A and B are shown apart, each in its own frame.
Chain A
Amino acid sequence: MSSGTDIYHEMIVDYSRNPLNYGEIENHDVTFHDSNPLCGDSIDIDMKIDNHKVTDIKFHGRGCAICMACSSVLTEITKGKSLDDVRKIQKHDILSELGLEHLQAVRIKCALLSLKVLKSALYTYLGTHLENSDGIDTLKTEAENLY
């Protein structure tokens, strides 16, 4: 059961102190920001995209250990992937990586904020770069209904 104190295992605590892919990308092709109104977690994601592939991704902002660890894992998973594959990333991919499958409802938004930002960033990018942007609305809906 990943609740209470158990969720604070080595990896979460380490990533919260030393997050992966933390920072900004100066010449990003897309950037997106969002926050959780109730807890104040706040995340920006910058991406560099070439040939329909995420060549670089960084995040910055403030959040709890769960938020920082999940943002680290998400950006690590995303880096190098084709946009089609990035679209397929689901919440389970992040949560399972960190053993957070049973995270209590009140903390799930901390874990998934960065995924929400990623989906919104992708939606923004595809909306301006695709000749045929049909079907990208599902991304927006997914972001809105993530938690």
Chain B
Amino acid sequence: MQSAEFSLENIRKDFPILKRTVRDNKPLVYLDNASTTQKPNQVIDAITDYYRNHNANIHRAVYALAEESTEAYESARDKIANFINVKNRQEIIFVRGTTEAINLVAYAWGRSQINEGDIIVTTEYEHHSNIVPWQLLTQEKRAKLEYIGMNDDGQLILDDLDKYLKTGKVKLVAFSLVSNVLGTITDAEKIIAKCKAAGVPTLIDGAQAVPHMKVDLDTLGCDFFAFSGHKMLAPTGIGVLWVRKSVLQTMNPFHGGGDMIREVHKYETTWNDLPYKFEAGTPNIADVIGFGAAIDYLTKIGMDNVRQHEIELTKYAIEEFAKIPGLKIYGTNDITKRGGVISFNFADVHPHDVAQIIDQEGIALRSGHHCAQVLMERLNVSATSRVSFYIYNTKKDVDALINSLKIVAKVFKL
């Protein structure tokens, strides 16, 4: 059970979109949170308040508005550092999202560190954002990309990692903390311990983890960590790359331009301090401030309560799914090893057809390959349907989904 601060009823009141109806006057049942979450009034208000009352560029001008916007922008950085237990705020770099964060590492770190014959290791259950940047980099450098395989329970086969580490050629191991398709929670501690023993840096895609559970970077011990704001109540277009300072100091800039410089002369430039060296141009000020408001909101609820709520919903959904003949769930049934994401297929019905039929009942869930085609190949399917929960979802939402699947069964004569 959740503690007193977690009131589902009060939480739902904060999300105006949950009051609307869709299609044929059906209440919206939003179950695509792994893709993006809805936004509470507190976040929407923070953004409008910034534009209505404080809008000015940061870090430069001396007038009052600029001071206010700089203060709001930088305090969001502190909130985020605190939220993921990062001691040094200089290690928090604002980017557009997880995709840009990983590309930044591939470009600004990878291009100077990866050489011909080196190996970068990723996993079979990565999002394309943790595969394609490494393909680009390894192709450019004539390096190799290898994959840690996955067993039928959706768990990584860490013997594969041992095999690659033994070659002595691995320069980076990149993996997601929670799979966006299977919900599998990766055994990050074990992977990082193995990599540390081999002197290999690690990058974690935390996009599906930070919104849903307590993540403590100080104890985790990886070297790069990326996540997105919009999957945790914040606006789209804002995310974070965290890099351990000792690594960050070795990195070249990603983009050149304003704000990332110390001095610019005709033929040479010196760089600004961290993290500004990596934040070229006018940043996404309003959405950083919105991100700060989202962190405040989640902090107030408590991440342990968020996780507990999702465990209860996921458990309930898995139990209800099991009662439907022909419905196949991917990944583990062990609730301690999975987040609030469930991918499934329903008999021989294509996920797009499932999604379209249940959309008429107001249910929003995702169908497709979820930007994880390597995983789809491994599962030997072209697509899955996926439900993913967040703090405002209820057991009633799960019931509505189950009922709508009965319509699918009727249409397709299952």
| Interface stretch (choices B67-75, B288-296, B348-356) | B348-356
The answer to whether A77 has its CB under 8 Å from any CB of chain B is: no
Chain A residues whose CB sits within 8 angstroms of the CB of B359 once the complex forms: 4
Least Cβ distance of A140 to chain B in Å?
27
Interface residues of A in 41-89 (CB under 8 A from B): 41-42, 62-67
Interface residues of A in 92-141 (CB under 8 A from B): 107, 110
Distance, CA A20 to CA B407, complexed state (A):
26
The answer to whether B316 has its CB under 8 Å from any CB of chain A is: no
The reply to whether A39 and B412 contact each other, CB–CB distance below 8 Å, is no
The answer to whether B382 has its CB under 8 Å from any CB of chain A is: yes
Least Cβ distance of B406 to chain A in Å?
12
User: Which residue in chain A gives the minimum CB-CB distance to B367?
Assistant: A39
Chain B residues whose CB sits within 8 angstroms of the CB of A31 once the complex forms: none
The reply to whether B376 and A8 contact each other, CB–CB distance below 8 Å, is no
Interface residues of B in 308-353 (CB under 8 A from A): 348-353
- Checking A4, A16, A40, A65 against B382 with a beta-carbon cut-off of 8 angstroms, the contacting residue is A40
The reply to whether B411 and A39 contact each other, CB–CB distance below 8 Å, is no
Least Cβ distance of A90 to chain B in Å?
24
- Do A13 and B412 form a contact, CB below 8 Å, given A5-B360, A66-B353, A110-B352? yes
Chain A residues whose CB sits within 8 angstroms of the CB of B221 once the complex forms: none
The reply to whether A65 and B413 contact each other, CB–CB distance below 8 Å, is no
Chain A residues whose CB sits within 8 angstroms of the CB of B413 once the complex forms: 13
Please report the total number of A residues contacting B with Cβ < 8 Å.
Answer: 20
Interface residues of B in 68-121 (CB under 8 A from A): none
Least Cβ distance of A41 to chain B in Å?
8
Least Cβ distance of B235 to chain A in Å?
23
The answer to whether B255 has its CB under 8 Å from any CB of chain A is: no
Chain A residues whose CB sits within 8 angstroms of the CB of B412 once the complex forms: 8, 13, 65
Least Cβ distance of A33 to chain B in Å?
14
Least Cβ distance of A8 to chain B in Å?
5
Interface residues of B in 249-294 (CB under 8 A from A): none
- Do A39 and B357 form a contact, CB below 8 Å, given A8-B412, A62-B382? no
The reply to whether B411 and A40 contact each other, CB–CB distance below 8 Å, is no
Interface of B is mostly: mixed
The reply to whether A5 and B407 contact each other, CB–CB distance below 8 Å, is yes
The reply to whether A17 and B348 contact each other, CB–CB distance below 8 Å, is yes
The reply to whether B353 and A64 contact each other, CB–CB distance below 8 Å, is yes
The reply to whether A8 and B352 contact each other, CB–CB distance below 8 Å, is no
Least Cβ distance of B104 to chain A in Å?
24
Distance, CA A38 to CA B352, complexed state (A):
11
Chain B residues whose CB sits within 8 angstroms of the CB of A64 once the complex forms: 350-353
Chain B residues whose CB sits within 8 angstroms of the CB of A41 once the complex forms: 352, 382
Distance, CA A16 to CA B356, complexed state (A):
15
B117-132: contact bitstring with A at CB < 8 Å (1 yes, 0 no)?
Answer: 0000000000000000
The reply to whether B353 and A65 contact each other, CB–CB distance below 8 Å, is yes
The reply to whether B23 and A4 contact each other, CB–CB distance below 8 Å, is yes
User: Which residue in chain A gives the minimum CB-CB distance to B349?
Assistant: A65
The reply to whether A16 and B350 contact each other, CB–CB distance below 8 Å, is yes
The reply to whether B352 and A107 contact each other, CB–CB distance below 8 Å, is yes
Least Cβ distance of A37 to chain B in Å?
10
Supply 19 further A-B pairs (C-beta < 8 A) apart from A17-B348, A40-B383. Answer: A4-B23, A4-B356, A4-B357, A4-B360, A5-B357, A8-B353, A8-B412, A13-B411, A13-B412, A16-B353, A39-B368, A40-B376, A41-B352, A41-B382, A42-B382, A62-B382, A64-B351, A65-B350, A67-B350
Listed A/B pairs (9) with beta-carbon separation below 8 Å? A5-B356, A8-B411, A13-B411, A38-B368, A39-B368, A62-B382, A64-B352, A65-B412, A66-B353
